[in-house]
Amino acid sequence: MIFASDNWAGAHPAVSDHLAANSGGYATAYGNSEVDARVAKTFCDIFEREVGVYFVSTGTAANSLSMTALARPAGVAFAHAEAHMIADEGGAPEYLAGGLRLCPVDGALGRMDPTMLEEAIGRYPAAFLHSGQPAAVSITQATEIGTVHSLDDIDTIAGIARRHGLPLHMDGARFANALVALDTTPAEMTWKRGVDIVSFGATKNGCWCAEAIVVMEPDKHEALPFLRKRAAQLFSKSRFVALQFEAYFRDDLWLSTARHSNAMAARLAEAFRASNAVRLAWEPQANEVFAIMSRERAENFRRRGAIFHPWATPRGYEGVGADETICRFVTSFATTVEDVDGFTRLLAS
């Protein structure tokens, strides 16, 4: 009954086996191998256009280098107040992007409020020397709290970004979970909406270390290979990341694992809905479920073998009692029906 995080899961057997089967022999280093090239081609197929693909070692690196690629002097990037970049990346975006400022924007359910985003950008007039220069807008898809931006939501944010001449970044640490939740295509969820650059995460969804920066207009980002090298993120034996992606995309494994994770989350949510003692904090849309319960009950669940983390109440969110706590339950490709049902029984007891 481990719902601590999707990065507690290991690697999917298909990924692991593909790595094991191809770990011998020789291959050109530093991203120039055949499998690197094949996988780059697959990304183009998946996104239905020529894209630039740059592997990096962590999601934080993908976000930080995306920001670096978009940074300007005195640059300011706008993201949701609870975005991973703002809340959980230990200063990496600011440091790697040369002192970039991350401007937190509030909004319900993990999505920036469009009016607040407009207002936030408005505080940084582009030609005014003293305030800072708007540099980018970033959305997280799926969000940090398990919701998803609809295609319309993305259109709205992209429209604001475009009106201000700002590139749009998508933190896709849980890209696949959002994709299957929306039942759409990568192209529809990104560049057809106005997304310019994606942190494409595969680690949480079945790989062990497979993160990529995907840029929709490679010609605009000729510095990216140098930026990645300068950030110490160019793998020598890059083919081992490529191999993970190869297995990840083969036979749509990534969509299956994401659908499974989401289904497990839905099943768990059903149990919370049926419970008298615990209630959903909000409706889950991807692979994270947030529930409100008394601290005592949370402790009790933990004593009986469930592993999950508390979550800080989002700013502006109301309805959590003084002795209550919001708890996060994350599912993954590795979550089983037995895990969920075991916890459901705990809940009922």
Q: Which is nearer to a second copy, 13 or 273 (CB)?
A: 13
**Phi, psi for residue 44 in degrees, rounded to 5:** -60, -40
The 241-270 contact track toward a second copy, x by CB under 8 A, reads: ------------------------------
**316 near a second copy, rule: CB under 8 A:** no
The β-bridge partners of 280 are 291
> Interface with a second copy by CB under 8 A: which range of 66-74, 106-114, 212-220, 320-328?
66-74
Contact with a second copy (CB under 8 A) among 41, 163, 230, 304: 230
3-class SS of residue 88: coil
Nearest to 118 by CA among 131, 103, 96, 130: 103
Separation CA 122–CA 153 (nearest Å): 20
**227 near a second copy, rule: CB under 8 A:** yes
Kind plus residue range of the DSSP H or E element containing 104? strand 101-105
Contact with a second copy (CB under 8 A) among 37, 73, 296, 336: 73
* C-beta separation of 295 from 326 below 8 A: no
**330 near a second copy, rule: CB under 8 A:** no
Count interface residues toward a second copy (CB under 8 A): 77
Nearest to 144 by CA among 315, 321, 301: 315
> Interface with a second copy by CB under 8 A: which range of 61-69, 176-184, 259-267, 317-325?
61-69
Residue showing tokens 């009016």? 115
Contact with a second copy (CB under 8 A) among 40, 51, 53, 56: 56
> Interface with a second copy by CB under 8 A: which range of 99-107, 157-165, 212-220, 316-324?
99-107
Q: Which is nearer to a second copy, 236 or 349 (CB)?
A: 236
Q: Which is nearer to a second copy, 101 or 164 (CB)?
A: 101
Separation CA 281–CA 289 (nearest Å): 8
Q: Which is nearer to a second copy, 47 or 329 (CB)?
A: 329
Q: How far is the CB of 12 from a second copy (least distance, A)?
A: 8
**Phi, psi for residue 327 in degrees, rounded to 5:** -120, 145
The β-bridge partners of 139 are 170
Which of the residues 112 through 151 are near a second copy (CB under 8 A)?
A: 123, 129-133
Q: How far is the CB of 307 from a second copy (least distance, A)?
A: 8
* C-beta separation of 103 from 127 below 8 A: no
Q: Which is nearer to a second copy, 17 or 296 (CB)?
A: 17
Q: Which is nearer to a second copy, 191 or 245 (CB)?
A: 245
Sign of CA dihedral 193, 178, 171, 187: negative
Separation CA 187–CA 192 (nearest Å): 6
